[in-house]
Amino acid sequence: MKTIKKSKQHNRRFFNNFLFFLFLFFLPTQLGKHWFFSFSYLSGIRVDYLAPTLYLTDIVVILLAFINYQAVFHFLKQKKILLVLFLLLINLFLSSSFFTSIYRYIKLLELLIVFALFQKKIIKEKAVLSAFFFGALIQFVLVIMQFLSKHSLQGIFYFLGERLINLSIPGIAKIAFNGIEFLRPYGTFSHPNSLAGFYLLLYFYFLTEKKYNKFFLLKKFFLLISSCLVFISFSKVAIITYLILNTLYLIVRERKRGFCRPCFLAKLIILFIVSAVFLQGQTDPLTIAKRWELINNSWLIIKRHFLFGVGLGNYLTAQNSFPSKISFNFNQPVHNIFLLFLAEVGLIITGITFYLLFPWLKMLWKKKYLLILAVLMTGFFDHYWLTLEQNFLLLGIFCL
């Protein structure tokens, strides 16, 4: 009987570890099933952000939560967590679209579950690094081929969530060098900026975590591939953030080791040269005008719904009532996670949430300040940390 019991426990641990590995490996993908209901349309146009979606990663999280239900329950029953969830539950009933808010509430709950699961640290370091490495390797091959061919590949990559993209599609992300247009590669992400932010955060996580130093070659190869993905995305915000934070990292490290000016200057010059090459490309000439319009819209929404917000996930519904001065300004949230969060939940919930999380954020800053800066700097100019599956769930692993 003891042998059978030990065998069952061993099989359960193996299956648990396997699911953790699958989650990390498939996290960069976005294979999922969208459901478009009446609230998923704005002015007759269906909007992915408003469509409830079941991703492959969601299924893995459900299975992990079921197996590790005790750890999940223990985390969620904390008073601070329950208070935040209760306040956001009230926000549901004050939202302009109740069903949209329910979906976003479920996604927030999923984020907390992911955080609770990874607090257990069941999966070994090598498995974590390997899962992200092989996922990054697939992304690297895909983005290179997308960049060279100027269109998506589809085929097997469709089942990893690659969307149909080419230069002729309106609103597609492009980059021009000397008048020649190229496709900014998407990989299996919704946008190149999302791809860049995802691997930017992973880059600084593995760069600063010393426990991965024992896997020297694997770590170095991952850092190289993730750096390439940030640059090939041509995301100017991500590249500038990469440059600034690497400079900061080098200064801090050289001071601890004993400052070597020639070494420091050589590394810094290489960083600036490589960054300058990828920053010189010309992107959408209307990008600043679009972002400024979205910021103005967000301030109007915040003024009108200052205390309680428009409800989780309801930003686009509220913004749809504003006219656009730009001929092609597709439905996009404001490119600033702070304005987006404030507009959706209001001042009261934002203030209470920040007050409750401040002691924890202060503690986290001492250990992972580069990760926090990476999210804050990119989040100040984009929204994917709150709106897109891959980036959102990644926060549950490294930043929460």
Tell me: the pLDDT tens digits for 260-315?
A: 677 778 878 888 888 888 988 888 777 888 889 899 999 999 999 999 999 999 99
Q: What is the pLDDT of residue 367?
A: 85
In a domain, 249, yes or no: no
In a domain, 109, yes or no: yes
In a domain, 354, yes or no: yes
In a domain, 323, yes or no: yes
Q: What is the pLDDT of residue 237?
A: 95
Q: What range defines the domain where residue 142 resides?
A: 125-234
Residues 132 and 228 in one domain: yes
Q: What is the pLDDT of residue 330?
A: 60
Residues 304 and 362 in one domain: yes
Range with lowest mean pLDDT among 2-11, 140-149, 199-208, 235-244? 2-11
Q: What is the pLDDT of residue 255?
A: 73
Residues 40 and 117 in one domain: yes
In a domain, 261, yes or no: no
Residues 139 and 90 in one domain: no
Q: Is pLDDT of 400 > 60?
A: no
Local confidence band at 179 (pLDDT 50, 70, 90 cut-offs): confident
What 123-130 contacts at long range (C-beta under 8 Å, 24+ apart), as own/partner pairs, is: 123/17, 123/20, 123/21, 123/24, 124/17, 125/211, 125/212, 125/214, 125/215, 126/215, 126/218, 127/17, 127/20, 127/21, 128/24, 129/206, 129/212, 129/215, 129/218, 129/219, 129/222, 130/21, 130/218
Residues 241-249: what's their mean pLDDT? 94
pLDDT digits over 63-86, tens only?
999 999 998 999 999 988 999 899
Residues 103 and 137 in one domain: no
Residues 218 and 297 in one domain: no
In a domain, 272, yes or no: no
Residues 110 and 206 in one domain: no
Residues 117 and 129 in one domain: no
The backbone torsions φ and ψ at residue 269, rounded to the nearest 5 degrees and listed phi first, read -60, -45
Residues 129 and 94 in one domain: no
Q: Report how many domains make up the chain.
A: 2
In a domain, 110, yes or no: yes
Residues 100 and 162 in one domain: no
In a domain, 263, yes or no: no
Q: What is the pLDDT of residue 221?
A: 96
Range with lowest mean pLDDT among 169-173, 217-221, 255-259, 280-284? 255-259
Q: How many CB atoms lie within 10 A of CB 167?
A: 11
Residues 300 and 198 in one domain: no
Residues 156 and 225 in one domain: yes
What is the pTM assigned to this prediction? Answer: 0.94
Distance in angstroms (rounded) separating the CA atoms of residues 278 and 347: 39
- Using the structure block, give the residue that is written with the tokens 């992107």: 283
Report the share of the chain in percent with pLDDT over 90: 60
Q: Is pLDDT of 329 > 60?
A: no
Q: What is the pLDDT of residue 281?
A: 83
